[in-house]
Amino acid sequence: MDYPSIYKIGEKVIADFKTNGKLKNIYIRAIIFTNAKVRYSLFLANSNTTLHNVDSCFVEDVEKGQEDFIEFEMDNYS
């Protein structure tokens, strides 16, 4: 089944909230779909923290050569 998300769970991305620079070493932990938007839960690997319900407009591709993927175990963190 295809879903309208650019990224997959476990994929490394950059979060750019436009205020304090870009956050790196971030992974997609969950994907949330609404009628009009795609939102993500982002796992911040450096601080072992998850940001929930992040609008897709703040998520960007990592630079070429920096791609990475981690496998999340099935969890119920929310």
Q: pLDDT tens for residues 9-27?
A: 999 999 998 887 899 999 9
Taking only the tens place, the pLDDT of each residue in 42-68 is 999 999 999 999 999 999 999 888 888
Domain assignment present for 46: yes
Domain assignment present for 78: no
Write the CATH number for 26. Answer: 2.30.30.140
Closest CA relative to residue 8, chosen from 23, 22, 25, 28: 28
d(CA 30, CA 40): 6
Contact predicate 12/69, CB 8 Å: yes
Q: Tokens representing 2?
A: 């295809």
Q: Enumerate residues 6+ apart whose C-beta is below 8 A from 67.
A: 12
Domain assignment present for 20: yes
* Stated pTM of the model: 0.84
Q: Enumerate residues 6+ apart whose C-beta is below 8 A from 17.
A: 23, 58
Q: Which domain holds residue 44?
A: 1-73
